[in-house]
Structure 1
């Protein structure tokens, strides 16, 4: 995981809690998850389009 160990991960998590607060973190995670899902979906659609064009 990018060369991060547990101590580094906990420090990053603590900093995020301080900056955004406990109430905002689930919203940020949900938005990030949706963004990743849409990105993967667009890659699959692009792959299908390129397969159809090459036929």
Structure 2
């Protein structure tokens, strides 16, 4: 398949306009924008949760001064 040119994009736009009508397109685009925004928010929340979980895991694995034996105790 070749690349999409201006004439193909124009044809798609005309078909969408005929199918949905000029009054429905702004509502459709608004809903699409809200969906994309919610998806990005959810993606960011998951990323933050994973990063926080990894930081907590790293903190739990770090040896503390009270847990490590001193050279005198050996």
Q: What is the TM-score normalised by the length of structure 2?
A: 0.68
Q: Deviating runs (4+, > 3 A) in structure 1?
A: none
Q: Distance in 1 between matches of 2:27 and 2:10?
A: 19
> Is 2:10 the counterpart of 1:23?
no
Matched positions, count: 53
Please list, as runs of the form range in 1=range in 2, the aligned pairs for 1:37-52 lying within 5 A after superposition: 37-52=37-52
Q: What is the Cα deviation at residue 4 of structure 1?
A: 2.2
Q: String of CA shifts for 1:1-55, please: whole Å, max 9, x gaps.
A: xx42211111111000110000000000000011011111110110000000001
Larger RCO: 1 or 2 (CA < 8 Å, sep 6+): 1
Question: How much is the aligned-residue C-alpha RMSD, in angstroms?
Answer: 0.8
- Could you tell me which residue of structure 1 aligns to residue 70 of structure 2? none
Q: Distance in 1 between matches of 2:53 and 2:31?
A: 33
